[in-house]
């Protein structure tokens, strides 16, 4: 007689720290509420949930009735809770002490609100490194779920991936459940009756369990899924089909874990899910990897060979994107300072700010990662600077420091004034890579350059075919397979930058309109640089005084024109709350429009979201151009252009010896929204 298979059905709910309130409201309306209301009507359908701690706090504050519904479902034994890091960090990318505090913070929160303490944990983006085992074990976690791909990479045959295995690190053990890739690709995209039939076939094949744990957002937020899952009834049909089948029973990971023996010892390689392994690679390598995968699929050998086609690892994002690496290394620096602070000087708010600064989303980019989203990076910087400001009040840092904290081979010079910090990269460009104000908790240098991305090939191919429609077939298309456009994308939008997008980045225009970047600055003193140029020289130096950063240029024996580019991250981006203000008080346009001034000595960037302004002043009247800097990226909704910064270019003609002083003043604006 065929034994019923256990369906271990888990969903992971998460919104990035700092996401827009309207996005959370829409996610709740189209997914979280609908999912819980549907499952509430079927108490015999048992399932597991993981909510990231920040989202849990938001839902508790804004939708307490649905959280009460979830609590009632927990009390009646329908719901099993999974823990994780409270603010959804990639555990492998933060220090051991922070792994422990993050896991405990969420487990404590779940225990207070729902009366249970998790024994299982969700791993953010299923990023596995064996270093996380000891922190998970120390915090009472007994098992986690990771992709079956991880096990295939370790040489385990697919037919054994219907139960949990055991791993260890430094003598501490942890059990590992392999999430079924086939289930991930079927739920909820294939018709419900086909999914139920597939589960029954798994039972007939002798499988102990089918293990599913994936984003709840697939059930209502991904394109087309609200109509498919709720209006057309996929979820109800699926639940009713499972409950009606004598070959399927639902269960909790905890019960299965206690009633079954481990499959044995396993040591997994450092990896994530297979799509992530492609996203982590730089564009040329990603293209080569993608081509190899497609070649294997075409030959019919992919399923057999994919364990040996691993791509990159999650930490490669720090290698790919210097902006991500800078945030990460600054976060590690602040974490170490907090850890070194005497216990009596620490506060719960400080710990929370550190946890929020470790939220994973803004550190990476793929189909979902948020590095390209300025408001998510801003949330990291906001919490990081709030914490750093609090630490400075109890343990001040010196006004001047230098070191290579991002490990790129170039020294960074830190200028600190109390209310602000400026960081100059002492490389050939000698530009400002960070300008942070602690009162506003904002980094005006937080922008992103144009990058070549592997998926741009898909965009170019779609444009060439004049095709932007979604692929169709039985069921609905996964977000991984859609090609859609949210904005018109031109070829020039895809041109990668050859230099970082900092502040005070310079170009030289000599005779005959020939130009070149000034990227041969060498340090001559503290925050002082000199470049040989056009038969003469150009000196550049920086001073930070209070909330004013001053850049001083001295040209010696030069004839031509110097362009000075200043990229400024303003929270309003191209929204209605951001505007330029001229010296006479007039408002010519917003940050999203082109502004050209033939001669200007000052320009104010006023931002209602920031609650402050940035004022640029020059010692000479210069031609000024301000334009929005956009990047092109991919999300589950399609290809889109996103404004990253206001790019301000000053044109300075020089003839012989000359001097120019440019000041950037940060001004909080009382009463701003």
- For residue range 91-100, list pLDDT tens digits in order: 999 999 999 9
- Tally Cβ neighbours within 10 Å of residue 267: 11
CB 250 within 8 A of CB 45: yes
**Where would I find the H helices in 205-321?**
225-226, 234-244, 253-259, 274-279, 283-299, 302-305, 316-320
Across 536-560, average pLDDT: 97
Residue in 215, 392, 408, 493 annotated catalytic = 215
Helix axes 348-357, 374-394, angle to 10 degrees: 150
Burial, 481: exposed, middle or buried (Cβ in 10 Å; 0-12, 13-18, 19+)?
exposed
pLDDT score of 15: 95
- Among 98, 125, 162, 506, the one annotated catalytic: 125
Total Cβ atoms within 10 A of residue 359: 28
Q: Residue 323: what pLDDT?
A: 97
Q: What's the average model confidence in pLDDT over 268-283? A: 92
- The pTM of this model reads 0.93
Sole residue written with tokens 């929020």: 356
Asked if 532 and 617 count as a contact pair (C-beta separation under 8 A), the reply is no
Q: Residue 420 pLDDT more than 70?
A: yes
| pLDDT at residue 535, as a whole number | 86
**DSSP H helical ranges for 398-520:** 456-464
Structure tokens at 327: 């945030």
Separation CA 575–CA 590 (nearest Å): 8
Catalytic residue status for 574: no
pLDDT value at residue 487: 58
- The proportion of the chain whose per-residue pLDDT surpasses 70, expressed as a percent, equals 94
Active site residue 215: yes
Q: What is the 3-state secondary structure (H, E, C) of 37-84?
A: HHHHCCCCCCEEEEECHHHHHHHHHHCHHHHHHHHHHHHCCCEEEEEC
Average pLDDT, the chain: 93
Mean pLDDT across 71-97: 98
- Category of 72 on φ-ψ map: left (φ > 0), alpha (ψ -120 to 50) or beta: alpha
Both tokens of 63, joined, read 């939708």
Cα 615 versus chain centre, distance: 30
Provide the pLDDT for residue 469: 40
Q: Determine the pLDDT at residue 472.
A: 42
Two structure tokens written together for 1: 């007689």
**Kind and range of the H or E element at 558?**
strand 548-568
**Chain position carrying tokens 């589960």:** 199
366-380, 519-533, 611-625: the lowest-pLDDT one: 366-380
Angle at 181 (CA atoms; ends 233, 145), nearest 5 degrees: 100
* pLDDT value of residue 208: 96
| pLDDT for the residue 431 | 97
Q: How many whole angstroms separate alpha carbon 496 and alpha carbon 21?
A: 32
Q: Which of 206-215, 393-402, 505-514, 562-571 has the lowest mean pLDDT?
A: 505-514
Q: Which phi and psi (to 5°) does residue 432 adopt?
A: -85, 120
Task: DSSP for 578-643, please give it.
Answer: EEEE-TTS----BTTS-EEEEEEEEEEEEETTTTEEEEEEEEEEEEEEEEEEEEEEEETTEEEEEE
What is the pLDDT averaged over residues 259-264? Answer: 97
Question: Each residue of 468-524: pLDDT tens digit?
Answer: 444 344 555 545 555 555 657 777 778 899 999 999 999 999 876 678 999 999 999
pLDDT band at 673 (very low <50, low <70, confident <90, very high): very low
Split at pLDDT 50, 70, 90, the class of 467 is very low
Confidence of residue 465 (pLDDT cuts 50, 70, 90): low
pLDDT in tens, 294-309: 999 999 999 999 899 8
Cα–Cα distance measured from residue 415 to residue 560, given in angstroms and rounded to the nearest whole number? 31
């Amino acid at each position: 007689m065929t034994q019923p298979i256990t369906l271990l059905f888990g969903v992971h709910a998460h919104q990035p720290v700092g996401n827009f309130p309207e996005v959370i409201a829409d996610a709740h309306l189209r997914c979280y509420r609908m999912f819980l209301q549907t499952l509430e009507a079927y108490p015999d359908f048992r399932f597991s949930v993981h909510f990231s701690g920040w989202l849990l706090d938001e839902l508790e504050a804004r939708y307490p009735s649905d959280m009460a519904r979830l609590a009632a479902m927990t009390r009646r034994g329908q719901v099993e809770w999974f823990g994780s890091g409270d603010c959804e960090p990639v555990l492998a990318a933060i220090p051991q002490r922070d792994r422990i505090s993050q896991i405990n913070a969420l487990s404590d929160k779940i225990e207070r609100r729902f009366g249970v303490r998790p024994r299982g944990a969700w791993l953010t983006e299923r990023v596995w490194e064996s270093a996380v085992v000891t922190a998970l074990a120390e915090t009472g976690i007994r098992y986690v779920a990771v992709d079956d791909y991880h096990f295939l990479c370790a040489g385990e045959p697919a037919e054994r991936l219907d139960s949990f295995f055991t791993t260890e690190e430094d003598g501490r053990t942890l059990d590992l459940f392999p999430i079924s890739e086939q289930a991930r690709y079927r739920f909820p995209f294939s018709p419900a009756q086909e999914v139920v039939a597939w589960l029954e076939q798994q039972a007939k094949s002798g499988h102990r369990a089918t293990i599913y744990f994936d984003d709840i957002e697939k059930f209502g937020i991904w394109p087309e899924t609200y109509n498919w899952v709720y209006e057309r009834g996929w979820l109800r049909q699926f639940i009713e089909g499972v409950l009606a089948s004598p070959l399927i029973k639902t269960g909790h990971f905890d019960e299965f874990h206690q009633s079954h023996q481990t499959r044995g010892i396993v040591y997994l390689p450092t990896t994530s899910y297979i799509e992530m392994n492609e996203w982590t690679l730089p564009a040329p390598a990603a293209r080569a990897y993608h081509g190899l995968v497609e070649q294997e699929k075409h030959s019919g050998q992919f399923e057999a060979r994919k364990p040996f086609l691993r791509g990159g690892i999650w930490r490669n994002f720090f290698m790919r994107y210097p902006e991500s690496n800078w945030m990460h290394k600054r976060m590690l620096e602040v974490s170490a300072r907090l850890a070194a602070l005497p216990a009596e000087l620490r506060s719960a708010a400080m710990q929370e700010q550190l946890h929020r600064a470790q939220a994973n989303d803004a550190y990476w980019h793929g189909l979902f990662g948020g590095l390209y989203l300025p408001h998510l990076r801003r949330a990291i910087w906001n919490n990081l600077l709030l914490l750093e400001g609090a630490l400075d009040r109890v343990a001040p840092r010196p006004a001047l420091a230098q070191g290579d904290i991002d490990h790129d081979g170039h020294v960074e010079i830190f200028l600190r004034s109390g209310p602000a910090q400026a960081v100059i990269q002492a490389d050939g460009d000698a530009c400002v890579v960070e300008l942070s104000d602690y009162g506003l908790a904002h980094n005006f240098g937080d922008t992103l350059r144009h990058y070549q991305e592997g998926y741009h090939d898909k965009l170019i191919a779609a444009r060439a075919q004049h095709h932007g429609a979604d692929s169709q077939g039985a069921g609905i298309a996964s977000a991984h397979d859609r090609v859609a456009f949210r904005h018109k994308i031109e070829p020039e939008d895809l041109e990668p930058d050859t230099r970082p997008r900092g502040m005070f980045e310079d170009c030289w225009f000599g005779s005959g309109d020939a130009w070149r970047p000034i990227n041969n600055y060498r340090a001559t003193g503290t925050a002082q640089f000199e470049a040989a140029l056009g038969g003469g020289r150009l000196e550049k130096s920086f001073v930070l005084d209070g909330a004013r950063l001053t850049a001083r240029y001295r040209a010696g024996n030069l004839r031509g024109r110097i362009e000075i580019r200043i990229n400024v991250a303003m929270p309003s981006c191209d929204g209605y709350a951001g505007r330029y203000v001229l010296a006479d008080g007039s408002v010519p346009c917003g940050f999203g429009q082109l502004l050209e001034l033939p001669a200007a000595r000052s320009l104010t960037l006023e931002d209602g979201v920031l609650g402050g302004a940035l004022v640029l002043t020059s010692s000479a009247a210069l031609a000024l151009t301000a334009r929005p800097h956009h990047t092109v990226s991919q999300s589950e909704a399609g290809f889109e252009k996103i404004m990253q910064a206001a790019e301000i270019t000053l044109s300075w003609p020089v003839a012989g010896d000359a001097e120019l002083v440019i000041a950037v003043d940060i001004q909080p604006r009382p009463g701003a929204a």
